[in-house]
Chains A and B, each alone.
Chain A
């Protein structure tokens, strides 16, 4: 059975949401990994760093978490090619850990923003996007105050050259004011992905009734597809996640 580790820091607050999606919709095993764990076993198939306000966003969002013991282990797994996804604060932590380039700063509105946006898939080769078509668009909720992706020119051009931009916001809707409308990126190898929007929040099955589609679940569907082991998963994939 697939086993996914969910690092939890003091102040993480999407940990239980990620767990709920993975265990109820994708029937995989999950384990919470408390931030001060110095050693984790190597049998995790993937790591998902959830959103929240780790250490109360003190000093700078993600930075204290990036220096906690568990992140040394996450770095080790990343090196081994294990798929790693950082969502929202998780993305900020990956950036502060230098597993991903660039920085996330305050939205240009200077406000926290909670709304639904549309993303475009720019790289469908990662473990978290292989169920999407290239340039496919899908709706997803965002909820952040510091989601504006910035980087120097060289980094941006490298990201473009090496196909490391995974998700972009649609042209007229770049909620935080990210450079190149970036919503998510990956490392050169493609196994580490960070994104500001919250795919786990399309869990509610009544969303379609409210006119909000659940395509964003394909991010988790892609992962289980990539790891592709369990039979139950295959039925899930057929259902369209």
Chain B
């Protein structure tokens, strides 16, 4: 296992003024891995706007904290577990859930919901499809077994299939916590406080996990994958929260990537205190583990608590009530070093600040050649039968129902879930102050590959529309930036473009970034993954009347807000029907995007909207089918009423132009009156709903021909494709 680079070793020697020993090198190597240190990305993520009136704690801690009023807070965090999941999907995905949950309890809040964003190679029409199916099946089982067992609902998610994820997978998990502001852990420590390690035994699983995740996936290093124990996690959640309520903990940190090395050095540096720890006290799985193994083991379900000596008996009682093993591993000192002892003998001693601040890198970048190639237009032939095309699009696994997946997750435990998967564009949960939180994860590697700047803007805009469509106002963003090898200049350029988009969007809309992660080295022997930033948007609903679903009912007028343009690059339509990647991706006009969003939020508040759905992946035709399906509603849609700048009918149906919503209303006149007064808004009353259960689209310019005429059960059958693939 490669440790430190030559220049890093030199930097370390200079700062220590001596040669580090083997253990010290291992400790530093774990913390200076890309995974823990952000050495390639830190310079860029510092550009993110992170302040806002609601932000109590921004990025850099275990979880972001937002003030939602009335003395309550929500916490949020996102993590990935890509490398481990690609090797051992069940354990990799499960421990991914465990890690993000411990970040939420580290802030003193109870986790109330989980979401996930998953990416695999195609599970059909592909030579690696069996491997991809195996990965999907076991990742979902891992998340389901873990999340269900710890009793936290999985309320939403997002799945994408693309060839660039063949033989690999992306597993992102986000968690929301909720609690009283007064219980927020203040993280402080004083001389003589006890350092307690609680939870699972420290073993040899997950050794070098952080370094494993900071390299290209070559060997299937299974010992670097951690072993999940959701039962112990559940006990840790309850014990930690009981201890927080009883105020017997001064600081908490979970153990994740880099194990004790990262946990101790980062906590000691954050607290501005020294730690003196004796590894002999750590409760271990094997008696003969050496100090290096103990320091870098990533065994799961472990927490670090700092408490005063006088409070310790109470903490001990709580841990014993739940049968949780623990050991007092050391004490807080007034120096600022991390001192590691073994049976009383000092075996490592370094300044915590030095360990937790890796020397940053200046990566080179250049615009990849493929970008220019993809800009070349290559317009495909017009299709004859749009019915066939629409059915093909519905059965496209990127669009088809994800029910097979979300039915395996407990979505309702905790009694907070108001909007569950399949009801709206984002999940909605009830909070203790009678407000509601709305959350959605979005990613789109196709768009981000063709144009990482516009692609990322599209994601940000879409995730805003998703929470707005549930009735919320966006209040904060979390991001997870996943890219290939940062040494690759092409890859690093795409990373920089994504960053630029997030900075621009966040500044323009005054939406703070409250948390995030960066994951590089997402590459296999087959190459780099497509750029995969994943955006999590947090929305807040103040009034329950505003909560919306996409479930269309009969006898309503249907409107589209926004203009449909002919930017088909990176669209599902081009990919699915023509196997094409060329063309310009939809571009987001930030000003127009904001007008559309604000207008729709106002329409909802005025009670003029009866159902609503964001229009994005798969375009308008898919959006309308998804709204009609739940209640088997029929539609009459008139193409000439759709504001557009397209030359072709199929483009109007399947364009993924940003900044569009489809809404239905019982008050078409009031709605039109309101919209007519807004400058810069284009909209159309495009049709009506009925109880026929038949979807009909008419084209006046083509002799009023029925260009789409499909029965609901035909549509539903195609939309159920993933179930069909996974069960056969």
Q: Which residues of A contact B (CB under 8 A)?
A: 10-11, 13-14, 16-17, 20-21, 34, 52-53, 55-58, 111-115, 141, 143, 145, 198, 200-201, 203-204, 206, 209-211
Q: A14-B151, A56-B230, A57-B231 are in contact. List 9 more A-B contacts (CB 8 A).
A: A10-B323, A11-B149, A13-B413, A53-B151, A53-B234, A56-B231, A111-B408, A143-B411, A204-B416
B544 touches A206 (CB 8 A): yes
Q: Please name the residue on chain B nearest to A54 by beta carbon.
A: B231
With A57-B149, A210-B549 already in contact, the answer to whether A114 and B410 are too (CB < 8 A) is yes
With A115-B407, A206-B544 already in contact, the answer to whether A53 and B413 are too (CB < 8 A) is no
Minimum C-beta distance from B691 to chain A (A): 15
Q: Does B417 belong to the interface (CB within 8 Å)? A: yes
B231 touches A141 (CB 8 A): no
Minimum C-beta distance from A40 to chain B (A): 17
With A56-B230, A143-B412, A206-B544 already in contact, the answer to whether A112 and B148 are too (CB < 8 A) is yes
Q: Which of B231, B234, B412, B416 has the most CB of A within 10 A?
A: B412
Q: Which residues of B contact A (CB under 8 A)?
A: 141, 144-145, 148-151, 229-232, 234-235, 321-323, 406-419, 423, 430, 544, 547, 549, 551, 631
Which single member of B410, B412, B547 contacts A206 (CB below 8 Å)?
Answer: B547
Minimum C-beta distance from B89 to chain A (A): 15
A17 touches B413 (CB 8 A): yes
With A56-B230, A204-B430, A206-B547 already in contact, the answer to whether A112 and B151 are too (CB < 8 A) is no
A210 touches B418 (CB 8 A): yes
Q: Which of A55, A114, A198, A210 has the most CB of B within 10 A?
A: A114
Which single member of A13, A58, A210 contacts B151 (CB below 8 Å)?
Answer: A13
B412 touches A114 (CB 8 A): yes
A143 touches B551 (CB 8 A): no
Report the separation of the CA atoms of residues A203 and B151 in the bound assembly, to the nearest whole angstrom: 17
A204 touches B234 (CB 8 A): no
Chain B residue contacts of A115, Cβ below 8 A: 407
B231 touches A112 (CB 8 A): no
A211 touches B551 (CB 8 A): yes
A-B contact pairs, 27 of them (CB 8 A): A10-B231, A10-B322, A11-B235, A14-B413, A17-B413, A21-B415, A53-B149, A53-B234, A55-B231, A56-B230, A57-B231, A111-B141, A113-B408, A114-B412, A141-B412, A143-B411, A200-B415, A201-B412, A201-B413, A201-B415, A204-B415, A204-B416, A204-B417, A204-B418, A206-B430, A210-B418, A211-B631
Minimum C-beta distance from A172 to chain B (A): 16
B231 touches A53 (CB 8 A): yes
The 7 residue pairs across chains A and B that have the minimum distance between CB atoms? A13-B151, A56-B231, A53-B149, A143-B410, A203-B415, A201-B412, A17-B415
With A11-B234, A53-B149, A209-B547 already in contact, the answer to whether A114 and B411 are too (CB < 8 A) is yes
Minimum C-beta distance from A111 to chain B (A): 5
Report the separation of the CA atoms of residues A34 and B417 in the bound assembly, to the nearest whole angstrom: 27
Chain B residue contacts of A17, Cβ below 8 A: 413-415
Report the separation of the CA atoms of residues A53 and B229 in the bound assembly, to the nearest whole angstrom: 12
Minimum C-beta distance from A32 to chain B (A): 11
Minimum C-beta distance from B585 to chain A (A): 35
Report the separation of the CA atoms of residues A55 and B149 in the bound assembly, to the nearest whole angstrom: 10
Report the separation of the CA atoms of residues A43 and B430 in the bound assembly, to the nearest whole angstrom: 34
Report the separation of the CA atoms of residues A168 and B183 in the bound assembly, to the nearest whole angstrom: 45
Q: Which of A21, A53, A113 has the most CB of B within 10 A?
A: A53
Chain B residue contacts of A206, Cβ below 8 A: 418, 430, 544, 547
Chain B residue contacts of A58, Cβ below 8 A: 231
Chain B residue contacts of A56, Cβ below 8 A: 149, 229-232, 234
Chain B residue contacts of A141, Cβ below 8 A: 412
Q: Please name the residue on chain B nearest to A141 by beta carbon.
A: B412
Report the separation of the CA atoms of residues A155 and B231 in the bound assembly, to the nearest whole angstrom: 33
B235 touches A10 (CB 8 A): yes
A145 touches B423 (CB 8 A): no
Q: Please name the residue on chain B nearest to A52 by beta carbon.
A: B151
Chain A residue contacts of B414, Cβ below 8 A: 16-17
With A13-B234, A14-B151, A53-B149 already in contact, the answer to whether A114 and B415 are too (CB < 8 A) is no
Chain A residue contacts of B412, Cβ below 8 A: 114, 141, 143, 198, 201
Minimum C-beta distance from A18 to chain B (A): 10
Report the separation of the CA atoms of residues A17 and B234 in the bound assembly, to the nearest whole angstrom: 16
B410 touches A112 (CB 8 A): yes
Report the separation of the CA atoms of residues A77 and B536 in the bound assembly, to the nearest whole angstrom: 50
A114 touches B234 (CB 8 A): no
Report the separation of the CA atoms of residues A225 and B193 in the bound assembly, to the nearest whole angstrom: 54
Q: Please name the residue on chain A nearest to B436 by beta carbon.
A: A206
Q: Please name the residue on chain A nearest to B152 by beta carbon.
A: A13
A112 touches B145 (CB 8 A): yes
A210 touches B423 (CB 8 A): yes
Chain B residue contacts of A145, Cβ below 8 A: 148
Report the separation of the CA atoms of residues A112 and B144 in the bound assembly, to the nearest whole angstrom: 8
B423 touches A114 (CB 8 A): no
A114 touches B408 (CB 8 A): yes
Chain A residue contacts of B406, Cβ below 8 A: 114
Report the separation of the CA atoms of residues A128 and B8 in the bound assembly, to the nearest whole angstrom: 68
Minimum C-beta distance from B538 to chain A (A): 20
Chain A residue contacts of B419, Cβ below 8 A: 210
Chain A residue contacts of B230, Cβ below 8 A: 53, 56
Q: Please name the residue on chain B nearest to A18 by beta carbon.
A: B415
B407 touches A114 (CB 8 A): yes
A112 touches B408 (CB 8 A): yes
Report the separation of the CA atoms of residues A195 and B413 in the bound assembly, to the nearest whole angstrom: 16
Chain B residue contacts of A57, Cβ below 8 A: 149, 231
Chain B residue contacts of A20, Cβ below 8 A: 415
Minimum C-beta distance from B666 to chain A (A): 15
Report the separation of the CA atoms of residues A71 and B655 in the bound assembly, to the nearest whole angstrom: 61
Report the separation of the CA atoms of residues A75 and B236 in the bound assembly, to the nearest whole angstrom: 30
Which single member of A143, A198, A211 contacts B148 (CB below 8 Å)?
Answer: A143
B145 touches A11 (CB 8 A): no
Q: Please name the residue on chain B nearest to A201 by beta carbon.
A: B412
Report the separation of the CA atoms of residues A56 and B413 in the bound assembly, to the nearest whole angstrom: 16
Chain B residue contacts of A55, Cβ below 8 A: 231
Chain A residue contacts of B416, Cβ below 8 A: 204
Report the separation of the CA atoms of residues A227 and B631 in the bound assembly, to the nearest whole angstrom: 40
Chain A residue contacts of B410, Cβ below 8 A: 112, 114, 143
Report the separation of the CA atoms of residues A143 and B406 in the bound assembly, to the nearest whole angstrom: 12
Report the separation of the CA atoms of residues A13 and B235 in the bound assembly, to the nearest whole angstrom: 10
Q: Please name the residue on chain B nearest to A113 by beta carbon.
A: B407
Report the separation of the CA atoms of residues A223 and B430 in the bound assembly, to the nearest whole angstrom: 27
Minimum C-beta distance from B148 to chain A (A): 6
Report the separation of the CA atoms of residues A52 and B412 in the bound assembly, to the nearest whole angstrom: 13
Report the separation of the CA atoms of residues A20 and B406 in the bound assembly, to the nearest whole angstrom: 26
Report the separation of the CA atoms of residues A67 and B230 in the bound assembly, to the nearest whole angstrom: 21
Which single member of B231, B413, B415, B551 contacts A11 (CB below 8 Å)?
Answer: B231
Minimum C-beta distance from A207 to chain B (A): 8
Report the separation of the CA atoms of residues A201 and B416 in the bound assembly, to the nearest whole angstrom: 9
Report the separation of the CA atoms of residues A150 and B423 in the bound assembly, to the nearest whole angstrom: 34
Chain A residue contacts of B407, Cβ below 8 A: 111, 113-115
Chain B residue contacts of A198, Cβ below 8 A: 412
Report the separation of the CA atoms of residues A54 and B191 in the bound assembly, to the nearest whole angstrom: 40
